[in-house]
Amino acid sequence: MGPLLAGVLGFLAVASATPLLYDGRAPFNLTENDLNDSLGPYLTVVKGSTENASHYSTLLGLAVPPTPLWNAYGVEPIEQSISISIDNTSIFVPGSGGPQYGFRRTEFIAQANGNHTALNEVLDVGTTVFHFSIIRNDILPLNYSHEYQIVFIEPSDGTHIFGIQLGSPFTDPTGPLPAANAHSLKLLDHALNVLYSVPFTPLTWHNLAVQVDWSNRTLCGLYSADGAPLQQVTEVAPNLSAPTGAAGQGDYHFGVLKLPLVNPNDRPTEQTDVAHYGLQEGSMEGLIYSGVFVESSSDGISLGHGLVSKSQCH
C-alpha cells in the first residue's frame, strides 16, 4: 500500500464490513442449473428467449480469478467470476411490447428468496452502495461502435437511476464511430450526464461502487483498479430527475445490453425505437463480472481488504 493510501488513512478504519444487504458474489456451489432456473442470487430471465440462461452465462470456477479487492491474493477466493455474453439469439421478449429485435441483451437481476421486487424495497431506501467489478473478455470483445448499457438500476418507467455505459452512445442519425471516449467505462446519472469515466483497459479488474442517497436523490462514485482500495472519484452529485419513493425503486441489473445502430432503411419513427429496430451484427460478445454486492453506508463504505471509510461519500 503506497503513499496514496497512507495519505487517506485518517479517513479509514479497518473494521468488519458495513451492513450487507445483498450478496451477488457467486458462491462455488452455484451451478449452471441454478442459473437456468433463477435459483440463488440472480433472476436470469432477461436474455434471448430460445436458449437457457447457461447458454449466455458461465460460472468460471477458478478459471478467471475474481477481483482481488474482496478476494485476497494467494487465498481461495470467496466467489467465482461470471461470464455474461450475447449472440444473435439474444432477443428478449418482455411481458408486453413484443420481441426486442433492436437490442441484444443478457442481464442478471439481483434477487433474494426468489423475489427481486422485495429485495428492491431493501436496497433502494436510505443510503446504499452498489458494488460491482468488471473485466474485459478479450475472447468475446465488444464492438465499441455500438452503445452498451452494462450496469443499471431500472425503475418501472424504464429510466436508470444510474448507469454504466461503454461504447459509442446511440445517436440518430449515426455520428462518427467509434465516438470519443468509446473505450471508457462511463458512470451516468439519471439525466445521462457523465459523472465519471475511466479507460476500460484490458487485463484489469475495474472496481466501481455507486452510493445512492434515495431520499435526497444524490449519487457518488468510487473506483479502483485490481486490488487497490476504492477511492471517491465524484462529488456527491444531485440526481433530481430520478423519481421519488417507490416509483424510483428498481431492479439492479448487470450484464451486456447492446444497442443497435440506425438502419437507414427504417422509417423515422422506427429509427428512434432502439428496442425494436436497427442494425446488429449478431456477433458473440461478453464481459466478466465479480464483486457484485450492495451494502448500507450507515457505517461507512467498504473499500477493500477490510478497509471501511468512516464516513459516507462527502
Give yes or no for residue 296 binding ligand NAG (CB under 6 A): no
Give yes or no for residue 237 binding ligand NAG (CB under 6 A): yes
Amino acid at 198: V
Give yes or no for residue 281 binding ligand NAG (CB under 6 A): yes
Residues 6+ apart with CB under 8 A from 29: none
Q: Which of residues 63-102 bind ligand NAG (CB under 6 A)?
A: 88, 101
Considering the complex, state which of residue 9 and residue 194 has its C-beta at the smaller distance from ligand NAG: 194
Give yes or no for residue 49 binding ligand NAG (CB under 6 A): no
Could you tell me the smallest distance in angstroms from the CB atom of residue 241 to ligand NAG?
A: 3
Q: First-to-last CA distance in the chain?
A: 23
Give yes or no for residue 189 binding ligand NAG (CB under 6 A): yes
Q: Residue ranges of the alpha helices (H) in the chain?
A: 3-8, 32-36, 53-56, 116-123, 268-271
- At 198 the three-state DSSP class reads strand
CB count within 10 Å of CB 119 equals 22
Q: b/e string for 240-269 if b means 16 or more Cβ within 10 A?
A: eebbeeeebbbbbbbbbbbbbbbeeebeee
The span of 132-140, 222-230, 236-244, 250-258 binding ligand NAG (CB under 6 A) equals 236-244
Residues belonging to the chain: 314
The span of 17-25, 75-83, 132-140, 188-196 binding ligand NAG (CB under 6 A) equals 188-196
Among 8, 12, 45, 54, binds ligand NAG (CB under 6 A): 54
3-state secondary structure 166-181: EECCCCCCCCCCCCCC
The span of 11-19, 29-37, 66-74, 159-167 binding ligand NAG (CB under 6 A) equals 29-37
Q: Which of residues 112-171 bind ligand NAG (CB under 6 A)?
A: 115, 117-118, 121, 143, 145-146
Q: Return the closest-CA partner of residue 253 out of 136, 161, 139.
A: 161
Give yes or no for residue 263 binding ligand NAG (CB under 6 A): no
Q: Which residues bind ligand NAG (CB under 6 A)?
A: 27, 29-30, 32-34, 36-37, 40, 50-52, 54-55, 88, 101, 115, 117-118, 121, 143, 145-146, 189, 191, 193, 213, 216, 237-241, 261, 279, 281-283
